[in-house]
Amino acid sequence: MKSGHTALLAVFAALWLIFGCASSSQFAGQPRSTEFRERLEESSSLTDREKWSLARKAYTYAQREQQRSHSEEAAYFYEASLGLLADIDLASIDIEMHRVASFNRRVLESYDQFVAETKDLPAASGLVAVIEAGEAQHSGEEEEDDAPDEIEVYEPRSVSVAVPEPDIVALKPMLPSVPMEMNAKVRNQIHFFQTKGRKVMERWMERSATIFPRMKPILREEGMPDDLLYLSVIESGLNLNAYSYAHAAGLWQFIPGTGRNYGLRIDRVYDERRHVELATRAACGYLRTLYEMFGDWYLAMASYNCGEGRVARDVKRCNTRDYWQLHKLPRQTRGYIPTYLAARAIFENPTHYGFAPLPPERPFECERIYVPGGYRLDDIARAAGHDPQSVRDLNPEFLKGIVPDLGKEMMVRLPGAASESFSEDLASLPKTVIAPISTHRVRKGDTLNKIAGKYGTSVAAIMALPENKRVKSRSLRVGQEIAIPVAEVRYAETKPQTVKEAAAQPAPKPEVTETTNTINYKVHKGESLSAISRQLGVSVDQICRENGITNPNKIAPGQKLTVTVKGETPRFADLPKTESKKSAKADGKNSANKRFYTVQRGDTVWSIAQNHGVDAKTILKLNKLGRKASIYPGQRLVVSN
């Protein structure tokens, strides 16, 4: 009996060791993975050596997740590893260049193999993964048709000029439609989207409902066929924040140089590649140039992918202008047009290929306001009465979350109308200062690599600044100042006063406790509640609430309103209005001393005049103010003399 009991305990102990250890290792891995993700979020502040270490760790995590069949996680870590490797400055890192290049090739080969073996490609996969996975699924002879027979072969659509909608005027000559060709390569790519790439296609189709309505009017104004919508689909997956390892960004995946060539402003705080309308117009300009250069849409789109110089050389080398015969093009470009045609075929007839119909297009609705530069988006959102995250999502082009000061008002999108007091609330908030170059004072133990990592830049970029021409990378001095090519964003600080300036300033007056007063106001012809609210320094909601008004647009001349206003206690509050005016005039004649009032928040000239028993015109005249002049809290006004 004792031996049987001992054996049973041994079995339980073994089971605990097996499942307990497995469970504990599983849960132990989760915090490490979470910590790793947090470090990735801060990759801009890492040194090149730390990025190298993190890239290798990401590769290890990717392989581990691949073995566990966690495709979403594996894709995330593979792409994180590739992204970190792309950010390393090979000229400054103290590791052999061939070692980094060799590891980069190994990650790419493993990623290609992962994509080929994945049953379902993750929905967030980009163009490279889609093309590579499609090629891998139908590997073999280039013209081999592995797609099922039910994918019928369509005759190429006749080339015709797209007709714009009546309410949109084409500003440039209309270009012909992109020909629709169906061959073995296109059929194979359609089959890929029906199987392994199904989640990717469904994600693209979902996004089209909100993105297409913003792009179509611009395409038609620019004289471009609607067929080019699907080029943006495969370029970015209609993801506004898409960013590639080649530093291409936005819906149309412009690299910085090409974007600037076509009028987009791109810097460290503002990137118009992420602006849907501006980037679409720039893409139309670039595609028109390419089409006029080659006279063929397939060659123009191939040039969009790999550059017009490369396509022109291959056309000359192969002695043909037939895209399908250019076998020397890069692998990705050879799969680019088939992927475009496959995506277009599915978008134009989704139910035929086994997909749900496209979701109904939803007009892009938002409130557009223009604000001066220097404000943070979060501050603008709060002043307008909206959620800051919603405002940031609507304005992806503001990279640092601030509106840059470009010498003009900038458009900001809001989820809805701004609050009544938006202008006043925004004006009361501090602005930001964006310094194009920061300064770092060298401390003990600092190296250029460490400094570059701290600011998220590279040693080469630091040394390229003219301000650092005397900086020697191997002999930094403690206390030495180094210019850093990183935009610094901070709230503007008021300039400190000198002792002389402080002495010249009048001594501060004791604060006056703010009181409230009820006034009666008679509506005049042509007045609105909005105008009255500005005059009295209160909100429209307050007037409606205090007077039981349900529709703020319906008020009548002669209507009497009772409104509570803030301000200093009136000197003549205990006297009748007519009597107080006479007293004020008499007092002004008999007294040589002027009476002053310090403007409080919410005050208006009209409310100050009412509280002091004088006419508003008198206050304007005494202070030499025009009828449309503005007053501000802290301003001293003469109320009688």
Inter-residue contact 394 to 413 (CB < 8 Å): yes
Q: Which residues contact 554 (CB under 8 A, 6 or more apart)?
A: none
Place of tokens 């469904």: 202
Structure tokens at 473: 């990378």
What residues pair up with 256 in beta bridges, in sequence order? none
* CA distance readout (Å), 483 to 452, 455, 464, 489: 11, 11, 10, 15
Count of C-beta atoms within a 10 Å radius of residue 211: 22
| Rounded-to-integer distance, Cα 524 and Cα 566, Å | 22
Place of tokens 């989820």: 415
Strand 432-435 vs strand 438-441: parallel, antiparallel, or unpaired? unpaired
* Secondary element (H or E) of residue 636: strand 636-640
| Rounded-to-integer distance, Cα 640 and Cα 589, Å | 10
Task: Return left, alpha or beta for 637; rule: phi > 0 is left, psi -120 to 50 is alpha, else beta.
Answer: beta
* CA distance readout (Å), 117 to 128, 133, 190, 191: 15, 9, 18, 16
Closest CA to 239 of 254, 227, 249: 249
Inter-residue contact 72 to 88 (CB < 8 Å): no
Q: Which residues contact 368 (CB under 8 A, 6 or more apart)?
A: 411, 412, 413, 414
Inter-residue contact 561 to 532 (CB < 8 Å): yes
Closest CA to 206 of 231, 233, 229: 233
| Rounded-to-integer distance, Cα 457 and Cα 468, Å | 15
Question: One of 65, 235, 420, 568 is an active-site residue; which one?
Answer: 235
Specify whether 235 is catalytic: yes
Q: CA angle, 244 as apex, 241 and 248 as ends, to 5°?
A: 80
Q: Tell me the catalytic residues.
A: 235
